[in-house]
A and B are shown apart, each in its own frame.
Chain A
């Protein structure tokens, strides 16, 4: 558990460092996801060569535990906007309508584009 958490944080740190060093427009943790993916591939490659290699053998469990309460992690930021909801009052209903319409359209267009190309590739759902 402790080692696994250290592995996740190391990947995040590598992500933060490369995002800053290369001035990339992607957040450090998202790059950290890529590093973690590479680390998992590396781990399994080493394991195939040396079956007694155990470092991070159950890092998946820690990762899944963190993700099982992903909603909780947005609560502190969410509470922060409760006090700022008067912006919807200030700019009238326009912002709320814009958010509603564009979120619906983004969901609709994304899923339609996905299904269209998937069908063109000859896949069935």
Chain B
């Protein structure tokens, strides 16, 4: 049990997918202008990442490794994740319309997200067990959400600040992301 908690903490804080691994930067900048959007996006990522982590682990273990086709990982993962997201979208629309109303618009945006892809590949490279893969996927997603929401909060404040012209908008956002990332480096060596 202890191991899983350590694993979760390391995924959320130490190896934060956004701020330590620099994956998923497009939605990080794109959906962080408003707190509301950021929260929606964070929820959607948790949802999709857990599903994608599980299903790619299954595909990798039972199909690719069995036939010795590890080199097809990237290709097949893209295919599987895309189909999965589409499937989930249809499922939600029919069965849980309330959840669809909340997450629906963000789902297609995640289809080809590198954070999702990255987590799936990390799971496989680290040769995690199924349960470990489940925990890491969930934790990375939570880490993504945490960073995104923190960042959205900061950006809402930046709107009110006196920013020099050449640094306005995306430039200052990247500088902020850098500083935010530095603070996360403080967790290094904790585990």
Decide whether A and B assemble into one complex.
Answer: no
Which B residues are closer than 8 A to A by beta carbons? none
A interface residues (Cβ-Cβ under 8 A, vs B): none
